[in-house]
């Protein structure tokens, strides 16, 4: 969520791109994009490059999800083992 001039936190600087109104940020970014295209330095993805980037992002997301699920599973298993050992101790 972007901060506008009215709801900025007190004490923050009102200098720089990030402190600008979101609409003004878009206008400036748009001007830069148009200038880069006119100059010929803007990169335009081919369909193959876009496909490869999407595949790479999907693989990274999948790996992160797997790692997070594994971590959560390990924490759950450790909790189960801990409560099982606690109940064994309390029985004796």
The pLDDT score that the predictor gives to residue 49 is: 94
The pLDDT score that the predictor gives to residue 66 is: 86
pTM here?
Answer: 0.37
Please give the backbone phi and psi of residue 35, each rounded to the nearest 5 degrees, phi first: -65, -40
- Say if residues 14 and 5 touch (Cβ distance below 8 Å): yes
| Mean pLDDT along residues 63-70 | 86
Instruction: Give the number of C-alpha atoms closer than 13 A to the C-alpha of residue 65, restricted to the C-beta side.
Output: 6
- Say if residues 8 and 16 touch (Cβ distance below 8 Å): no
| Mean pLDDT along residues 7-18 | 72
Q: How many Cβ atoms are within 10 Å of 19's Cβ, its own excluded?
A: 14
pLDDT band at 52 (very low <50, low <70, confident <90, very high): very high
DSSP 18: G
- Say if residues 11 and 22 touch (Cβ distance below 8 Å): no
| Mean pLDDT along residues 41-55 | 91
């Amino acid at each position: 969520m972007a901060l506008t001039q009215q709801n900025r936190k007190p004490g923050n600087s009102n200098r720089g791109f990030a402190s600008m109104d979101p609409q003004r940020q878009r206008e400036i970014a748009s001007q830069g994009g148009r200038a880069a295209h006119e100059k010929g330095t803007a990169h335009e993805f081919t369909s193959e490059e876009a496909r490869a980037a999407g595949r790479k992002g999907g693989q990274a997301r999948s790996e992160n999800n797997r790692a997070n699920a594994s971590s959560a599973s390990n924490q759950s298993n450790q909790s189960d083992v801990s409560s099982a050992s606690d109940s064994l101790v309390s029985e004796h």
